[in-house]
Structure 1
Amino acid sequence: MKRLQVNTTQNVKINFELAHVGLRLGAFVIDNILKFAYVYFVMQLFNLRLLEATEDGWSVKAVTVVLFLPVTLYSLYQEVLMNGQTLGKRALKIRVITKDGFKPSFTDYLIRWFLRIADFNLFFLIGVYVYALGMSHLEALFYVLFFMGKMIGFFMILFTKNNQRIGDFAANTTVVTLKDEVKFSHTILENISETYKPKFAAVIKLSDNDARIIKDTYRKARKTKDYKTIKKLKLKVEEVTGITAENLTDFEFIDIVLKDYNYYTQNM
Structure 2
Amino acid sequence: MSELSINTTQNVTINFTAASLGHRILAFGVDLLIIIAYLISVFTLMAYSGLSDTLSKMDGWSQMAVQSIVFLPVMFYSLIFETFFEGQSLGKKLLRIKVVKIEGYQASFGDYLIRWLFRLIDIVLSSGVIGLFAIIMNKKAQRLGDMAAGTSVISLRNNVNISSTILEEINEDYKPIYPLVIKLSDNDARIIKEHFIRAKAGNDYELLANITSKIEAVTGIKNQSGNHQDFINTVMKDYNYYTQSM
| TM-based fold match above 0.5 | yes
User: Structure 2 matches for 1:227-266, cutoff 5 A?
Assistant: 239-240=225-226, 254-255=238-239
Matched, 1:172 2:147: no
Query: Residue 14 of structure 2 contacts residue 191 of structure 2 at CA under 8 Å; is this kept in 1?
Result: no
| SS at structure 2 position matched to 1:115 | helix
Matched, 1:154 2:135: no
- Structure 2 gap ranges (5+): 167-177, 182-188, 198-222, 229-233
Q: Deviations over 1:45-77 (max 9, x none)?
A: 113653442132222211111121111100001
How far off is 1:8 after superposition? 4.0
| SS at structure 2 position matched to 1:120 | helix
The structure-2 alpha-carbon separation of the partners of 1:69 and 1:215, relative to structure 1 and needing over 3 Å to count, comes to: farther
More deviation, 77-86/46-55: 46-55
State the distance in 2 between where 1:209 and 1:71 align: 33
State the distance in 1 between where 2:7 and 2:242 align: 19
> What corresponds to 2:46 in structure 1?
46
Query: Residue 98 of structure 2 contacts residue 154 of structure 2 at CA under 8 Å; is this kept in 1?
Result: yes
User: Structure 2 matches for 1:37-116, cutoff 5 A?
Assistant: 37-47=37-47, 49-116=52-119
How far off is 1:161 after superposition? 1.1
State the distance in 1 between where 2:15 and 2:224 align: 30
> What corresponds to 2:209 in structure 1?
none
| SS at structure 1 position matched to 2:152 | strand
- Structure 1 gap ranges (5+): 124-148, 188-197, 202-207, 217-236, 243-249, 260-268
How far off is 1:115 after superposition? 0.8
State the distance in 2 between where 1:210 and 1:175 align: 16
| SS at structure 1 position matched to 2:56 | coil
More deviation, 59-68/169-178: 59-68
State the distance in 2 between where 1:112 and 1:178 align: 20
What percent identity do the matched residue pairs reach?
38
Residue type at the aligned position of 1:33:
L
How many residue pairs get matched?
192
How far off is 1:28 after superposition? 0.2
> What corresponds to 1:122 in structure 2?
125
State the distance in 1 between where 2:55 and 2:180 align: 59
> What corresponds to 1:163 in structure 2?
141
> What corresponds to 2:31 in structure 1?
31
Query: Residue 121 of structure 1 contacts residue 150 of structure 1 at CA under 8 Å; is this kept in 2?
Result: yes
TM-score normalized by the length of structure 2: 0.66
